[in-house]
Amino acid sequence: MNRIIAHARKDKYLLLLMIPGIVYYLTFRYLPMLGVAIAFEDFSYRKGVFGSTFVGLKHFLSFVTGPNFWPLLSNTVVVGALNIVITLPVSILFAILLSELGSRRFSGFVQAISLMPYFISTVVVVGITFMLIAPETGIVNRVIKAVTGNPIIFQADPGWFRPLYVITEMWQKNGWQAVVFTAAIVGIDPNLYEASAIDGAGRIRNILHITLPSIFPVIAVMMVLRVGSVMSLSFEKALLLQNPLTYATSDIIDTYTYRRGLLDGSVSFATAVELFKGILSLLLVDLTNTITRKLTNRGIW
């Protein structure tokens, strides 16, 4: 105990820096967990959380046995999986290409440009997307009309929701995700590349036999983290990109709970659905982490 107090006194200023983060997580992450009780009640605003009628697993069973369960689950998993399978390799490739640029100044400039979309509001990103794919005035459809003669109404075609979502995610977040891999590449021992050069290896062989194996543990950890977000897609982007014509592929769990909870007033049902989604996400993370630890001896826990 005395040792802990001594360390606390020694690092008191560093510990003070933790206070904003602790307050944030307590206020916005842990205290709201008390609202989980709503999922097991027929919640009434008049009676409150602790006065509403307890109904057990009624809302969970209603969701799992309802007609929307499998379409919502499949839409969410497919979009989330595509987002990982496409954007993660692109981020890794982008980081490798940045590391291979001869000029550090040019590399920094490219990285700064790639980071800019991350700080743009999702509403603005979707607005730019709609401008680009507008049937009559969008540059994308102008090119399509010049080639085929017929524009594509992307907003009304369910088949185009998933490509649009993944492409906009890749454009908006690729630079930010590549930062982690860029940092991992910078930490590779330069002597490995020097020894490889002596053996006559070129850039491609260096990437395949030095860069990728060296950053593979980081890739594995990022994979686990990304799998944990498979069920938690960008709600704002999905909501803005979708419309009733594209619900067949665009209606995910988050947009469904938004309609049921806020628009329809079924707060208990929406809470149960979100809690079910959280439990499923936890199971996916645990499964991925277990597989990763067996393959690489690295994991989050």
Average pLDDT, the chain: 87
Report the distance separating Cα 155 and Cα 134, nearest Å. Answer: 9
Q: How many residues does the chain have?
A: 301
pLDDT, tens digit (0-9, with 9 covering 90-100), for 208-262 = 888 888 888 888 888 887 887 788 788 889 999 998 899 999 999 999 999 998 8
- Both tokens assigned to 153: 């109404």
Give the Cα-Cα-Cα angle 97, 77, 61 (nearest 5 degrees): 160
- Residues 266 and 260: beta-carbon distance below 8 Å: yes
Alpha-helical segments (H) within 187-234: 190-198, 203-206, 212-228
Average pLDDT over residues 203-208: 86
Report the distance separating Cα 40 and Cα 4, nearest Å. Answer: 41
pLDDT, tens digit (0-9, with 9 covering 90-100), for 265-284 = 889 999 999 999 988 888 88
Helix, strand, or coil (residue 289): helix
Q: Quote the pLDDT of residue 147.
A: 87
- Both tokens assigned to 113: 């440009």
**β-strand pairing of 41-42 with 53-54:** antiparallel
Count Cβ atoms within 10 A of the Cβ of residue 116 and give its class: 0-12 exposed, 13-18 middle, 19 or more buried. Answer: exposed
Q: What is the DSSP string of 21-37?
A: HHHHHIIIIIGGGGGGG
CATH 1.10.3720.10 fits 45-296, yes or no: yes
Q: Is the pLDDT of residue 21 over 70?
A: yes
- Residues 212 and 277: beta-carbon distance below 8 Å: no
User: What is the phi-psi region of residue 153: left when phi exceeds 0, alpha when psi lies from -120 to 50, beta otherwise?
Assistant: beta
Gyration radius of the chain over CA positions = 24
pLDDT, tens digit (0-9, with 9 covering 90-100), for 82-108 = 988 999 999 999 999 888 887 778 888
Boundaries of every domain in the chain: 45-296
Q: Quote the pLDDT of residue 299.
A: 63
Q: Any idea what DSSP says for residue 235?
A: H
Q: Which one, of 99, 87, 113, 131, lies nearest residue 222 by Cα?
A: 87
Q: Which one, of 273, 86, 88, lies nearest residue 162 by Cα?
A: 86
168-172, 181-185, 232-236, 297-301: segment of lowest average pLDDT: 297-301
Helix, strand, or coil (residue 299): coil
Give the Cα-Cα-Cα angle 81, 86, 87 (nearest 5 degrees): 100
Q: Which one, of 211, 149, 161, lies nearest residue 182 by Cα?
A: 211
